[in-house]
Amino acid sequence: KQEVTQIPAALSVPEGENLVLNCSFTDSAIYNLQWFRQDPGKGLTSLLLIQSSQREQTSGRLNASLDKSSGRSTLYIAASQPGDSATYLCAVRHPGGADGLTFGKGTHLIIQP
């Protein structure tokens, strides 16, 4: 059974710092991995999608990497801003299980002004 783990569960850093969020998954046979942002009381906003054949994706100050063989992904946020404060979730879609995404529990990020 695929399991997704996100470390740390919570993180608080001063504005301007670069930071890394970690995601690991137990079964490396995935179709893709998707990073999301969730603001309190809101739905999920898709940030980056990495297909299993790709190593990384970039969007603005965000960079996500994927090491499928080791079952790991990282989300790098450069020059953090208070508006980046949210919960960040990673999820994988994989064969052999249900057709939906399997999510981690998220990293709750606070950027201090």
Q: Which is nearer to other proteins, 18 or 58 (CB)?
A: 58
Residue 35 Cβ vs other proteins, minimum distance, rounded to whole Å: 11
Minimal distance, residue 5 CB to other proteins, in Å:
10
- Shortest separation between residue 79's beta carbon and other proteins, angstroms: 25
Closest CA to 63 of 51, 72, 74, 52: 74
Nearer to other proteins, 16 or 95 (CB): 95
Closer CB to other proteins, 77 or 92, in the complex: 92
Residues that bind other proteins (CB under 8 A): 4, 31-32, 34, 36, 41-46, 49, 51, 89, 91, 93, 95, 98-106
Q: Residue 41 or 113: which CB sits closer to other proteins? A: 41
- HSE at residue 93, side-chain half, CA atoms within 13 A, is 11
Query: Left if phi > 0, otherwise alpha if psi is -120 to 50, otherwise beta: which for 47?
Result: alpha
At 91, the amino acid letter reads A
Whole-number minimum distance, CB 34 to other proteins, in Å? 7
- Number of neighbours of residue 88 by Cβ within 10 angstroms: 22
Number of H helices, E strands in the chain: 0, 11
